[in-house]
Structure 1
């Protein structure tokens, strides 16, 4: 987390920061209160939140790794343009071989 240097901020900047913090805390508190109300209502009706979400058509996504999707090609083999690499994951063998043969990454960059 970035640490703010409060000593160099003007009084008006500090007041604005305080107002922003108070608003964020209030918003979070209201959100948590609404969540608790929904939990209590679901429990009073004999529902589990998972069942309720499934009925609404939006099952909660499991937390964990996010999907990155396809990455654009960043490197292409200097002699065989069908061999490409996005820069994600381990360096492919063709790139290691090309570097060993005297090519640089910059020469293979798309």
Structure 2
């Protein structure tokens, strides 16, 4: 069946698959986040409290103290630890996702 499809049809199919994969990953990430929030509540905390405690221990950037770090605006769906504020040069994972048919809205935090 795929052999009979035109290049445009194959590209359209790939875009649909990429969207379906991104949607699945988003749902799974939301389920994991909900589980984490529930675990934090079970221990008497809010997840945001625990995460802010963790992030406050990070070292300053190499450029020195250039003010507060920008909040992450985009998250790598493959590795949620990789974020981008939308400032400066795009990370490779952002460019890769855009080339795969995703949009910046798909990567929004």
Please report the TM-score for the alignment, with normalisation by the length of structure 1.
0.42
Quick check: which has more Rg, 1 or 2?
A: 1
Please report the TM-score for the alignment, with normalisation by the length of structure 2.
0.42
Larger RCO, structure (CA 8 Å, separation 6 or more): 2
